[in-house]
């Protein structure tokens, strides 16, 4: 049986960024990343909007605010250094109605407090100088935002890792022993002194395998995209976002010109019928039952069923989706929207029905569990990795050459 100092469970961008940061920080430390799929980045990392978030939205002082701002600068430098597709295209966050102005001002205040560079307010006329086809009563210009090819970054991290990436290793059991843990999948096992759980949509289940009762449950929220037809793609230069509803950690349907030049509209946020229930895949009855049994989910529905029903209605009707998109770019018509992909967010929900807003990282003597790392988790991944590497170094102490 192979033995490692550290095993990272989950080969998404956060798992690989964390393994890379640990390998750098603890010289001589043996590391393996265990990934259940045949390739890295197969779930949230490979199904997201590809946006490099600036750090505008997040509560000052929160982990999200600090790690997003640090992380976006590290990510930009990483992509430049390694020649990976990336563009600091900037974005605008548009207030479409006067009643959204106070929330937009709050974003401006947060952005300034979070240390964003170049953030400024735009008048209605100035919006059109940046995005000639967009409309609104006012907006924020956020020059530090951009777009990145996160799957490429993840593959690059995997290929450069000083350690093993073991694919097709779906962790199904973790047994604690005096000097570490035995981690098993169907048919094989490895041993480790320390575990990092970055299993995304399954992180609460992996925590439970390790003997930790997570204080939250992952509820999967699907985000569905449309792609603008080539004739409509010229309506969008870069990134156009609405002012988000402050009650939810989702950013609202927006326009993203991706690194490959295509323009996506979305994502929305609807309950997924399974933790890996993408467009075209079959619902997972076990996952749905688990969600419905969770008191936190039932309380969430009790509070927000109207919003949830409206999202589901919009998901089912292209014309309704187009109507939402038209609020930002009035020329959009239903025939401009081609069905695109979908991603599933691993959103932690507390037993009292609250959507966990900040990143949640829980430590025990032999493990670190990442229990909530939705957007901007990809942007922040390199900074999250360094943050976790520091925690691991404290636990493993000088024995593995921490520096
Ligand atoms: C629709 C959508 C849009 C988003 N847009 C953005 C954006 O524009 N910008 C941004 O910064 N962030 C965005 N995010 C968030 C971002 O994608 C995530 O924060 C980030 O990818 C999380 O990375 P991760 O490594 O934690 O999770 P994942 O990428 O989900 O990786 C977890 C890995 O763990 C593996 N795994 C799970 N269980 C096991 C097991 N038992 N054994 C072994 N392996 C296991 C999975 O197969 C998976 O590969 C978006 C997310 C979604 C869903």
Q: Give the 3-state DSSP-derived string for 26-86, with helices as H, strands as E and coil as C.
A: ECCCCEEEEECCCCCCCCHHHCCCCEECCCCCCCCCCHHHHHHHHHHHHHHHHHHHHCCCE
User: CA nearest 232: which of 334, 309, 304?
Assistant: 334
For the whole prediction, is pTM greater than 0.85?
A: yes
Counting ligand 1 atoms within 8 A of each CB, the residue from 8, 44, 145, 146 with the most, and so the one to mutate, is 44
Cβ distance 223 to 269 under 8 Å? yes
- Residues with CB under 6 Å of ligand 1 are 9-15, 34-37, 42-45, 47-51, 53, 170-171, 198-202, 206, 223, 267, 343-345, 373-379
Q: Whose CA is nearest to atom 22 of ligand 1?
A: 377
Nearest atom, ligand 1, residue 223 CA: 1
Q: Whose CA is nearest to atom 50 of ligand 1?
A: 48
Taking the C-alpha atoms of residue 73 and residue 374, their distance in angstroms, rounded to an integer, is 19
Taking the C-alpha atoms of residue 389 and residue 403, their distance in angstroms, rounded to an integer, is 11
Q: Report how far apart, in Å, the C-alpha atoms of 357 and of each of 63, 348, 350 are.
A: 10, 8, 11
Q: What is the Å distance from ligand 1's center to 27 Cα?
A: 27
User: CA nearest 91: which of 265, 340, 268, 257?
Assistant: 257
User: What pLDDT shows up at residue 363?
Assistant: 95
Q: Whose CA is nearest to atom 26 of ligand 1?
A: 200
Counting ligand 1 atoms within 8 A of each CB, the residue from 356, 369, 375, 387 with the most, and so the one to mutate, is 375
Residue ranges of domains in the chain, CATH in brackets: 1-90+147-216+357-398 (3.50.50.60), 217-355 (3.30.9)
CB-side neighbour CA atoms (13 Å) of 168? 3
Q: Whose CA is nearest to atom 37 of ligand 1?
A: 199
Nearest atom, ligand 1, residue 370 CA: 26
Counting ligand 1 atoms within 8 A of each CB, the residue from 79, 169, 378 with the most, and so the one to mutate, is 378
Is the bond into 267 cis (omega within 30 degrees of 0)?
yes
Counting ligand 1 atoms within 8 A of each CB, the residue from 7, 8, 11, 12 with the most, and so the one to mutate, is 12
Q: What is the Å distance from ligand 1's center to 88 Cα?
A: 22
Which pairing describes strands 217-228 and 270-271: parallel, antiparallel, or unpaired?
Answer: antiparallel
Q: Whose CA is nearest to atom 9 of ligand 1?
A: 51
Q: What is the Å distance from ligand 1's center to 45 Cα?
A: 4
Q: Whose CA is nearest to atom 4 of ligand 1?
A: 48
Q: What is the Å distance from ligand 1's center to 332 Cα?
A: 30
Backbone angles phi, psi at 111, to 5 degrees: -60, -45
pLDDT by residue, tens only, the chain of 403 residues: 899 999 999 999 999 999 999 999 999 999 999 999 999 999 999 999 999 999 999 999 999 999 999 999 999 999 999 999 999 999 999 999 999 999 999 999 999 999 999 999 999 999 999 999 999 999 999 999 999 999 999 999 999 999 999 999 999 999 998 889 999 999 899 999 999 999 999 999 999 999 999 999 999 999 999 999 999 999 999 999 999 987 877 788 899 999 999 999 988 888 999 999 997 789 999 999 999 999 999 999 998 888 877 777 777 788 888 988 999 999 999 999 999 999 999 999 999 999 999 999 999 999 999 999 999 999 999 999 999 999 999 988 754 433 3
Q: Whose CA is nearest to atom 45 of ligand 1?
A: 10
User: CA nearest 359: which of 53, 152, 50?
Assistant: 53
């Amino acid at each position: 049986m192979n033995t490692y100092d550290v095993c990272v469970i989950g080969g998404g961008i956060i798992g690989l960024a964390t393994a890379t940061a640990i390998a750098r920080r603890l010289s001589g430390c043996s590391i393996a990343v265990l990934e259940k799929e045949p390739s890295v980045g197969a779930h949230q990392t490979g199904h997201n909007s590809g946006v490099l978030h600036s750090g505008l939205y997040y509560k000052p002082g929160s982990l999200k605010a600090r790690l997003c701002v640090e992380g976006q600068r590290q990510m930009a430098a990483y992509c430049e250094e390694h020649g990976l597709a990336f563009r600091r295209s900037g974005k605008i966050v548009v207030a479409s109605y006067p009643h959204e102005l106070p929330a937009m001002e709050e974003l401006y205040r947060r952005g300034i407090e979070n240390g964003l560079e170049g953030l400024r307010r735009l008048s209605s006329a100035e919006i059109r100088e940046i995005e000639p086809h967009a409309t609104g009563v006012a907006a924020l210009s956020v020059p530090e935002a951009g777009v990145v090819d996160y799957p490429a970054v993840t593959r690059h991290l995997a290929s450069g890792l000083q350690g093993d990436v073991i694919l097709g290793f779906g962790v199904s059991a973790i047994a604690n022993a005096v000097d570490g843990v035995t981690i098993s999948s169907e048919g094989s096992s490895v041993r480790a002194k320390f575990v990092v759980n970055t299993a995304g949509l399954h992180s609460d289940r992996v925590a439970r395998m390790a003997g930790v009762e997570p204080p939250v449950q992952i509820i999967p929220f699907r985000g569905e995209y449309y792609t603008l037809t080539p004739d409509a793609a010229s309506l969008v230069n870069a990134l156009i976002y609405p002012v988000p509803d402050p009650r939810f950690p989702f950013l609202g349907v927006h326009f993203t010109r991706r690194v490959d030049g295509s323009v996506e509209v979305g994502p929305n946020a609807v309950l997924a019928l399974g933790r890996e229930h993408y467009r075209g895949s079959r619902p997972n009855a076990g996952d749905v039952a688990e969600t419905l049994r969770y008191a936190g989910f039932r309380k969430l529905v009790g509070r927000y069923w109207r919003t949830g029903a409206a999202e589901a209605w919009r998901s089912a009707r292209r014309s309704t989706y187009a109507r939402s998109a038209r609020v930002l770019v009035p020329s959009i018509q239903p025939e401009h929207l081609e069905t695109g992909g979908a991603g599933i967010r691993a959103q932690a929900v507390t037993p009292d029905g609250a959507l966990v807003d900040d990143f949640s990282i829980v430590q025990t003597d032999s493990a670190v569990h990442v229990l909530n790392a939705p957007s901007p988790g990809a942007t922040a991944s390199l900074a999250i990795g360094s943050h976790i590497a520091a925690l691991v170094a404290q636990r493993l102490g000088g024995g593995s050459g921490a520096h």
